Amino acid sequence: MASPENDVVFDRIMEMVGDDGPFQKRYNLIYNVLAVLVFGMTVVNILLVLTVPDHNCNVPGRELHNVTSVDRWRNLTLPRELNSRGESSFSSCRMYNLSKYPEGTTPDQWVFYPNETTSCLYGYEYDREYFDRTPVTEQDWVCEKELHPTNVFAFIRFGEVSGTFVLGQLGDSVTWIFNKLIGRLPVYLISLAMGALGRALAVFTAPHYGLFTLLAFVGSFASNTGFQSPLIVAMEISKDENRASLSLWQLGGWTVGICVAPMILWWCRNWVWLLLGTSLPLLAFYCLPQYNIESPRWLAGQGRYPECIRMLKKIAKVNGKRFEMTVEELQEKAPRKEFEKMYGIVSLFSGSHMAKLTSLLLVGWICNTIPTFTLLLLSTQMGGNPFMNFFWQGAIELPAYLCGQVLCDRIGRRWTNSVAFLCNALSCIPVIFIIHHPGTELYTSIFAVVIKFFVCVTYFALYLQSFEVYPTLLRQTGTSFGIIVANIFGALGPYIVFLGTSFDIRLPFVVLMLIGLLGFVTSIFLPETLYQKLPDTMDEGRRFGKNQRFWTMPRRPRTERAQSPGEVEKLNQS
């Protein structure tokens, strides 16, 4: 690996072109706030339009039998059963077999027995209070096809995992798999195109389930790189003091995006307009060539000096700076980095202690990711207004991250993570007890938001722990590996929701409670990283936290305090 002096030199070069000027502020606003806002809507719009509304069999013939009341006709033709919320309601997928009684008989003569039902022969009637036109209502993805939406959700997760693995490595670092890099900007432009076209083309393919699923996969393939690429570029062109706040700005854009998307569908009630209106605007970010830049720091590291000079001049021009450095001068000041070819993922398990830390972090990521996706999907199935439920699930994220930041800096990463996991599990218990009682939809939604709050706190703590536990050479590899593995297991989320919608709405919360308890048990055995020197070498990584006491709290290192001039002199000499 190259020495850190190269990065110090490039920091000075960035000061020459401006590392805190109008360019950085505009770039951050355009790509880490506005573009992320649209990307957030693109990520969740497919989740919203695949919500399954309440439905029953459509039974024709009410006029032929002179039944004027719709409710009476339902009572005559539809059997009753307990739904997933434990309420007695009309069957969603069964109807009485009316062929038993020929035309001319009056409904008063009808007597049906429980075993005289059949599947819906004439289609379905949907509750259109909130959802008017969706792929589910148009294609009848219910009953015999009830797994169709669930399978699409699973493919979305696999798309995110695949895209993170492929595009993330093409745009970031040299690995033993991808030795030819294309850079952050091409990866970002690919992400914009795949997100926009994958979602937009899906509106024409709902009658063809396989093609619809494929396009859902394509639209989600580049989701993570759509967030990562502009954030990395922004950090690499900004001064150190500003880098910590950049991710918070991006989280703000994401939160607004996932809150606005359900409101748009509530207003337009048409899934076609939602997908087109929240995905095609991504293409607008192609139209800003003066701000569409590749990271000059990355270009210099790859030895692409002419392109690096061109990017630096773009930044200097907007910042009102003069930059006259030549290619030869840049090559002399910032020589190309020599990357070491590493088998990164295998190195995460080198030594028993590092293997233990990696395993604990992986379990933590899994216990965080499954509830995150499950709660978003459940928010539209818990009763009440599904759009407001989804809105609050998104709106709680930003305050949760802010709370996580404060707690991580006060009581440490380890206790913040473990206590948040425990609170997550405990918050599921009231939902399990009240969700079957009529009129408790509001309380259920409130507790679901509380659960999401603690899940977001664990995310913030886990991200810090992953970054700080691993040595420098494995820091990014370890964090990315944890997120990828967690997203694979996150594909279980739709099937957990399926348990609730098709069997008992309490079951997902039972599963979430058990996952929270597992996260609590595993996270409490991770070492505390607050105020600790981060490991740089592999040997330091294998020993990091090995001798920490279990019940200790993190303490700020004592500042040296001299009691007398003589002690001051001794300290200076030492």
Whole-angstrom distance, CA of residue 90 vs CA of residue 95: 9
Residue 263 above 80 pLDDT? yes
Mean pLDDT of 360-372: 94
Mean pLDDT of 233-243: 80
Q: Are 486 and 369 in contact (CB under 8 A)?
A: yes
A 10 A CB-CB count for 435 gives 24
Nearest CA-CA partner of 31 in 241, 167, 227: 227
* Per-residue confidence (pLDDT) for residue 561, from 0 to 100: 42
Residue 244's pLDDT band (cuts 50, 70, 90): low
Q: Which of 126, 145, 173 is a domain's end point?
A: 126
298-302, 308-312, 438-442, range with greatest mean pLDDT: 308-312
Q: Could you give the C-alpha distances from 113 to 7, 61, 71, 117, in angstroms and in order?
A: 79, 20, 19, 8
* Per-residue confidence (pLDDT) for residue 27, from 0 to 100: 94
46-50, 94-98, 113-117, 332-336, range with greatest mean pLDDT: 46-50
Mean pLDDT of 32-48: 94
Residue 427's pLDDT band (cuts 50, 70, 90): very high
Evaluate whether residue 139 is within a structural domain.
Answer: no
Residue 33's pLDDT band (cuts 50, 70, 90): very high
> What dihedral angle (degrees, nearest 10) is formed by the CA atoms of 537, 541, 542, 544?
130
Evaluate whether residue 340 is within a structural domain.
Answer: no
What is the crossing angle of helices 352-378 and 413-434, to 10°? 40
Evaluate whether residue 1 is within a structural domain.
Answer: no
Whole-angstrom distance, CA of residue 412 vs CA of residue 38: 34
Q: Which of 92, 126, 160 is a domain's end point?
A: 126
Residue 169's pLDDT band (cuts 50, 70, 90): low
Whole-angstrom distance, CA of residue 81 vs CA of residue 234: 56
The whole model's pTM is what? 0.83
Q: Which of 72, 102, 126 is a domain's end point?
A: 126
Evaluate whether residue 2 is within a structural domain.
Answer: no
Long-range contact list for 76-83, CB < 8 A, 24+ apart? 76/107, 76/110, 79/112, 79/114, 79/117
Q: Could you give the C-alpha distances from 39 to 32, 160, 194, in angstroms and in order?
A: 10, 13, 11
* Per-residue confidence (pLDDT) for residue 100, from 0 to 100: 72
Mean pLDDT of 471-486: 77
SS (H, E, C) 436-505: CCCCCHHHHHHHHHHHHHHHHHHHHHHHHHHHHHCCHHHHHHHHHHHHHHHHHHHCCHHHHHHHHHHCCC
* Per-residue confidence (pLDDT) for residue 6, from 0 to 100: 56
Residue 112's pLDDT band (cuts 50, 70, 90): confident
Evaluate whether residue 446 is within a structural domain.
Answer: yes
68-72, 113-117, 410-414, 500-504, range with greatest mean pLDDT: 410-414
Percent of the chain with pLDDT over 70: 89
Helix, strand, coil % in the chain, rounded to nearest 5: 65, 5, 30
How many domains does the chain contain in total? 2
Q: In CATH, what number is assigned to the domain containing residue 434?
A: 1.20.1250.20
* Per-residue confidence (pLDDT) for residue 338, from 0 to 100: 53
Q: Could you give the C-alpha distances from 476 to 171, 231, 511, in angstroms and in order?
A: 13, 14, 31
Evaluate whether residue 461 is within a structural domain.
Answer: yes
Q: Are 509 and 428 in contact (CB under 8 A)?
A: yes
* Per-residue confidence (pLDDT) for residue 202, from 0 to 100: 95
Evaluate whether residue 565 is within a structural domain.
Answer: no
Looking at per-residue confidence, does 132 or 243 come out higher? Answer: 132
- DSSP-based three-state secondary structure for 119: strand
* Per-residue confidence (pLDDT) for residue 232, from 0 to 100: 82
Sign, CA torsion 330/187/284/259: negative
Mean pLDDT of 60-79: 83
Nearest CA-CA partner of 455 in 361, 395, 367: 367
Residue 46's pLDDT band (cuts 50, 70, 90): very high
Mean pLDDT of 547-566: 63
Q: Are 395 and 447 in contact (CB under 8 A)?
A: no
Whole-angstrom distance, CA of residue 424 vs CA of residue 515: 9
What is the domain extent for residue 71?
55-126
Whole-angstrom distance, CA of residue 244 vs CA of residue 229: 16
Looking at per-residue confidence, does 469 or 515 come out higher? Answer: 515
The pLDDT tens digits for 182-207 are 778 888 999 999 999 999 999 999 99
100-109, 207-216, 251-260, 386-395: segment of lowest average pLDDT: 100-109
Evaluate whether residue 399 is within a structural domain.
Answer: yes
Percent of the chain with pLDDT over 90: 46
CA 331 and chain centroid, separation? 40
Residue 107 above 80 pLDDT? no
- DSSP-based three-state secondary structure for 90: strand
Residue 116 above 90 pLDDT? no
Residue 149 above 50 pLDDT? yes
Residue 574 above 50 pLDDT? no
Residue 320 above 70 pLDDT? yes
104-108, 252-256, 345-349, 553-557, range with greatest mean pLDDT: 252-256
